[in-house]
Structure 1
Amino acid sequence: MLGPEGRVFATDVSEVAIDVARLNVQRYGMQDKVEIRHGFWFEPLEDLKGKLMGVISNPPYIPTDDLPGLQPEVGWHEPKLALDGGKDGLDHLLHLCEGLSSVLKHGGFFVFEVTYLLMHCI
């Protein structure tokens, strides 16, 4: 639960995802708590360097060569942009990890989703 001063800054590179997020923010009356920004990972957060208490992410983590083998319904709901994690599935996660120190406060946290198949790499 966000305290009275808490705010959420949500970013996405997809205009469609941004539009859906904005609709949800309005639908649930969270305009005072949630700010949606368009751009690639931390790029839209330049003004918040060193100010975030935490980062929560669901980065694309499926290796490119595994995409054709996914269940068809996955592709019905998610664009390739949201799934393709590069050759080994770690491209976006590595990019996030490299940028964390620039946006997080000292003692901040990072929570992310990844397949158990990549846990040995992390």
Structure 2
Amino acid sequence: MSSPATDKLASEISSRLKAAGIKDAEKEADELLCLSLNISKSALYARDFSKVTGDAASVLKKLDSLTARRLARQPLQYIAGEVEFFGLSLTVGTGVLIPRPETELLVEILTGILSNKHKPNISVLDLCTGSGCIALTLAKHFPESIVHAVDISETALKYAAANAAANDIKNVTFYTGCLYEPVACMAFDVIISNPPYIKTADIDLLEPEIALYEPVEALDGGTDGLHFYREIIAGAPGHLNEGGIMAFELGDTLAHSVMEIARAAGFHNLTLKTDYSRVERFLIIA
């Protein structure tokens, strides 16, 4: 493939994505082109096509196929089959929630708090683990820790286990079940969760990439979006060690409602933190 040819292809794909109402069409066109050529974005921008495999016809056929999937609003992360999260490369696909930058920020905040405590051998419980992004990041950052991760979805846990193996992270144990049920007799220094928090009635109003493709069980937080916060906070006293910490990612507009739930359960050392858009997105309970 030549530079003029790839430039023309990127422009054509970008125009098609824009016409379909897809944001960041130029960036996504480049990513689809990279996937079709099997090269990195840095190679594309440097116009280095020395490692391209396959002839032009096969590249075009693959590009058409990938573009059709994106025009059908399948998430780009599912098309690529992976996502970067806090330095880890994680496999994602149908049946598992795509990790978001906001969740990276939650991990960054918690990692900073735990590092200041100078306690490397912590025990962690990650509830609603999904792809395992939180559990695996904490396990890698604190290699002397023991991390336990729970999800009700066997499909999601297959991704999580594969991600642990691919990143050579061995200090994580995954459990299938509902919240605390698989760890009924255990207590932890940290309980962390990015639970489902979309109101049931709002799910169909989400972007097609989410509403049509991401697993509803990873989205649906009940009528008011607070179901899992109530369950996790109510069960925490029996599973949180003395001096332990809880950390949550919060749905839009839910911050103060979750704080009220925590106060009603007897927790009073509460700290809200904002995300990149200055939305109150995270709650730390110490």
Under a length normalisation based on structure 1, what TM-score does the superposition of the two structures give? 0.90
Amino acid corresponding to residue 148 of structure 2 in structure 1: F
CA shift in 2, pair 1:47/1:120, >3 Å: closer
Alpha-carbon separation, structure 1, partners of 2:245 and 2:213: 29
Alpha-carbon separation, structure 2, partners of 1:75 and 1:36: 27
Q: CA deviation at 1:75?
A: 2.9
- 1:8 aligns with 147
- 2:91 aligns with none
Q: Are 1:44 and 2:182 an aligned pair?
A: yes
Q: Are 1:74 and 2:210 an aligned pair?
A: yes
Alpha-carbon separation, structure 2, partners of 1:59 and 1:118: 12
Task: Give the SS at the match of 1:37.
Answer: strand
- 2:246 aligns with 110
CA shift in 2, pair 1:117/1:7, >3 Å: same
Alpha-carbon separation, structure 1, partners of 2:213 and 2:178: 21
- 1:22 aligns with 161
**Unpaired runs of at least 5, structure 2:** 1-140, 259-286
Return 111-120 or 11-20, whichever deviates more.
Answer: 111-120
Alpha-carbon separation, structure 2, partners of 1:84 and 1:44: 21
Which whole-Å deviations, capped at 9, do the CAs of 1:47-76 have from their partners, x for residues lacking one?
31xx30001101111111111100011135
Cα pair 2:150 2:179 within 8 Å, conserved: yes
**For 2:193, which of 57, 82, 85 is the aligned residue?**
57
Q: CA deviation at 1:46?
A: 1.6
**Unpaired runs of at least 5, structure 1:** none
Alpha-carbon separation, structure 2, partners of 1:26 and 1:95: 31
Which whole-Å deviations, capped at 9, do the CAs of 1:7-43 have from their partners, x for residues lacking one?
1000000011110000011111112x10011100111
Alpha-carbon separation, structure 1, partners of 2:185 and 2:162: 24
Determine which structure has more spread, i.e. the larger CA radius of gyration.
Answer: 2
- 2:235 aligns with 99
CA shift in 2, pair 1:115/1:99, >3 Å: same
Q: CA deviation at 1:3?
A: 4.7
Task: Give the SS at the match of 1:25.
Answer: helix
Alpha-carbon separation, structure 1, partners of 2:212 and 2:164: 24
Task: Give the SS at the match of 1:116.
Answer: coil
Amino acid corresponding to residue 56 of structure 1 in structure 2: I
Question: RMSD of the alignment, in Å?
Answer: 1.2
Alpha-carbon separation, structure 1, partners of 2:160 and 2:194: 14
Task: Give the SS at the match of 1:56.
Answer: strand
Q: Which has the higher contact order (CA 8 A, sep 6+)?
A: 1
